[in-house]
Amino acid sequence: MNDSAPGADGTPGTGSAAGSRRKDVRRNQQTLLDAAAAVFVTSGVEAPVRDIAAEAGVGVGTVYRHFPTRADLVIAVYRHQVDACAEAGPALLAAEVSPHAALERWVGLFVDFLVTKHGLAAAMQSDDAGFEALHAYFLDRLVPVCAQLLEAAVAAGEIRSDVTAYPLMRGIGNLCIGAETDSRYDARHLVALLVAGLRKD
């Protein structure tokens, strides 16, 4: 559920032509995902599309036929990790001793994911039009899970009830921005503080 493993293909819907009848299409789709994952690791998610195309040994046109925009490529690369994070929520709720503990662990998972992906947190919150899809995908997938954990913790009387999932997720994402490039900045610590601030007085 955390880093590496770029290879796994997305479910249909990742690219436009996941199940094409043409062999070269399927091959390039996979080649591009692998290349993008590799480039993202070394250069961050803000890496130029041309770099990804070069790494994959294809032209930029090919990248755009498979992924209409750079954001779609980013989504495709990380989709399964986001999904894994989403699925971990209910599991933690069932396994942990308390909803608040589950929330803490789950948030930790999310932060670990974001912090190890160079520039992902920043891209996600970027008001750059092209990245709205990225923002939306993360939020659509994770906000409901967060809401469920929050609700359980509120029901258990462990946290205050004036916090909703959406701003909390955005805030956590925001706190992760720049964590990879500044050793003096400890995002995990601050997120822990924020989650601590949720506790009922």
Partner DNA sequence: TTGTAAAACGGAACCGCGTTCCGTATCGTC
Partner DNA sequence: GACGATACGGAACGCGGTTCCGTTTTACAA
The DSSP symbol for 159 reads: B
If binding means CB under 7 A, how many residues of this protein chain bind DNA?
27
60 is a contact residue toward DNA (CB under 7 A): yes
* DSSP bridge partners of 199: 159
**The three-state (H, E, C) secondary structure of 57-86, written as one string:** CCCHHHHHHHCCCHHHHHHHHHHHHHHHHH
Place of tokens 């961050």: 44
Nearer to DNA, 124 or 187 (CB): 124
Q: 179: which 2 tokens?
A: 């964590």
Joined together, the tokens standing for residue 64 give 């755009």
CB closer to DNA, 65 vs 141:
65
Residue 141 lies near DNA (rule: CB under 7 A):
no
Neighbours of 71 (CB within 10 A): 23
* Helix (H/G/I), strand (E/B), else coil: 4: coil
Only one of the segments 53-61, 88-96, 154-162, 172-180 lies at the binding site for DNA (rule: CB under 7 A); that segment is 53-61
Work out which of 14, 37, 40, 70 binds DNA, going by CB under 7 A.
Answer: 70
- Alpha-carbon distance values, 107 to 44, 127, 130 (Å): 22, 24, 26
By CB under 7 A, the residues from 3 to 22 that bind DNA are 17, 20-22
For residue 90, state whether it binds DNA (rule: CB under 7 A).
no
Residue 41 engages DNA in binding (rule: CB under 7 A): no
State the binding partner of 69 from a second copy, DNA, none, CB within 5 to 8 A by kind.
DNA
Using CB under 7 A, which of the segments 69-77, 83-91, 94-102, 176-184 binds DNA? 69-77
